[in-house]
Structure 1
Amino acid sequence: MEIKINDILRYKKPACHENAYEDGHLNFHFLTNVPTSKKLQLEKGINPSAALKTSDKELVRPVILISSSPNKKGSAETPWQDFYDADNGHIRYFGDNKEPGKDPAQAPGNKALLEAFRLAHSHDIKERQKTPPIVFFKRVTVNGVPKGYPMFQGLGIINSIELVTQWDNNKQQSFTNYAFDFTVLCMAKEHDTFEWDWINSRRHPNFSIQDTNKKAPASWNQWFKSGANELNTVRRRVSKLQIVKSADQKPTIGSEQEAILNKIYKFYDGRKHHFEALAEFITERVIGKELGIYHKGWITQGSSDGGADFIGKVVLGSGFSKVELIVLGQAKCESLTTPTGGNHIARTVARLKRGWLGAYVTTSYFSDSVQREVIEDKYPILLINGKRIAEEVSQLLHESDTYTDIDEFLDFMAERYPKRLKQRQPEEILYV
């Protein structure tokens, strides 16, 4: 049977594996039923299955189930908070030691996870193949009932371990424990579905690791063959769904926008610094000129730009109840057929101070990797590609009575450029 991340199962007591569904949800006990094996449970936070001998006579643990209960945060049972971010491929989970003075490595759940970490990070593929899959669940409330509804959160491998000191509010004592950081694996090749039969096939005595792995996600087998250095490559990233492909960042061939972008590039070729005036103009339109929240500052002179090509600010609110955010702009008149370099984006981000926004304007486009970095690291930077520039200019020409064609508009921007130059520091925009 297949399940997807965020599918809610029913974990009912007493356990009954006969019905596929209970109370409108897939029955956990039906899903995990293997007559020749001990039942899988979610009674604890860390639930290791019993180790079995494989067809190669190796003792291997088939699976470890991890369950988190957000509703128990701060209680005597769970005096800490786990962090689940499956969509970005990360889970931070605190182990099962709660006893002051006790070696946390001896707690049964921690012990199983420490062994799984050792195997997963072995350079020996024969050792690595013994690594148990770690499957995550998070208990959710359904119809006001906080128990009995585990939500599937994916499959993972331990990325790192940290020994931490925690505080139990109820006992008013500190204790040592382990914090485990897991990489949640991507299942894009499986269309984001998880084949649970892979887990069940591992729970039969004398199972073959090689045969059962044919049912494993492609990311698992990719990691298994290459080792821990592959973990970042196989990490789940829902942000991929937000990425705009290169073809969609370019004007349609033969369109008015393509002709406009080509004229813009040719116009600034040989005087690319002048492109900063157009970049400033486009940024104002994109942020929302009609809303009046973007205020132009100036185009910076080369000797005093501090890495910025133009400076502006965004004003939110009015009167006493307002906040002003500095906008640091970068303008790049680049080849229309080559993506802008990630190093340019990194340099722009590095210059942003707390409360600043970035705007990166290019005649080119942004690669998948650059977009992913901006999305996943939550950089406060606005990306404006060549297609958007062409669209804004095209719209302006259709709306305006001032310019008869693109050439007249570009000539106006060229005249405007030297008048916009200022030798000032970015912070001065707040006093303008």
Structure 2
Amino acid sequence: MIGSESAVAFDALREADLHIDRLYLAGTKGTAGDDALGRLLPVGLQGGFRPRGSVRKKRVRLVALYTAGTEPDWPDHLDPETGIFTYYGDNRRSGSDLHHTKRSGNLLLRDVFEATHGLPEERAVVPPFLCFEKAAPGRSVRFRGLLAPGTETMTSDEDLSAIWRHTKGARFQNYRATFTVLDVGIVQRRWLSSVLAGEPTTGPGCPEPWREWVEGRVYRPLVAPSTLTIRTKDDQLPDDPAGLEMLRMIRAHFDGRETDFEECAVAIWRMMAPATGKCAVTPPSRDGGRDAVGTYMLGPGADRVAVEFALEAKCYRETNSVGVKEMSRLISRIRHRQFGVFVTLSYFAKQVYEEVREDGHPIVMICGRDVVDSLRRKGYSDPERLRKWMDEGFSRNRNIDSVVDIGSSVSVDESMLDESRTTAVSNQMQRL
């Protein structure tokens, strides 16, 4: 990424420009004053929301958003390929009203997202949001971009949504906010100083994408298509004990009946691909190498096009990789204009990954880390909630002999089912 090639020393932070993905080093005295973000900008030393100015008096001039990426219940996420940043509000514990938080972060979100969908003069008072990510060593940070609230395609009902969570039976709400990382490689200190001094955000040094957003709500995202198509084993497995434990819980739930994991795999796929239409799980005795078949819906609601897919699922341990044999089995069954989905709780061997990508096979490869990330985004990071989700959706005593069509009225090609009975995906999937 632009500007990521060098780090900025602590003593130089007060005058430094902000470069995408550049590391800004912390001090070394071992005190709170070592905080790099507090030295870069005149904001607080703690918390995710660090505004300059009063939120309640609506006099915020600039906001630093800080994410540590260590809270599985609140998985802040930057998608560099789309430029979309998802950030969770600051009501992360039960006991407080949605807008009555210590740092007024949710109140700030409410106000700026309301202005986002207003007139240009309303967006003109929205403070610039600067995204920083926790980095090493110490209290160093990495700059991830200049953010504009909202996205080009989301409505006011979608870009800021209040979601429910619970802790020990106590329910509470928090915001999930969606921002766009603007196509700005360098945020100049001259502009930051002007904004902090109370000048309009479209004043001297203003990045052109920010001006376009203020004046016309035009989103020009910073998109960075990935050049890395071969994920390593470490990339494919959770890097935290809680994530590994989630995978172990799923495997334990299906212990001795691994074929039942197929329905769970379809549910996980639906989390990632909500436009999935009909989907049917094939009986293990005649599945023909495809654990499920279905359709993915494209186009407007009034005239959708159904693209057929086949899904394979493996309830493997994290030490057991998906090899060439398993992948070849799925590839051989995919016909023209179809694609494949392979879901595993483990990882794909390097040779498999290389062959699929180099040969251009239309296979979606979902590994253990992908499964954990999707469950967390749906709020199932808590062991109790995850266990309840599995018990209700994939119990041992479910009747698997009937057929229930879920989603679109477009039918699945019956030949894909190998003339076998089809199994209904669970009621749980109907709720996703």
TM-score range, shorter chain: 0.3 to 0.5
Q: Counting helix residues as a fraction of each chain, which structure ranks higher?
A: 1
Normalised by the length of structure 1, the TM-score is: 0.47
Normalised by the length of structure 2, the TM-score is: 0.47
Larger Rg: 1
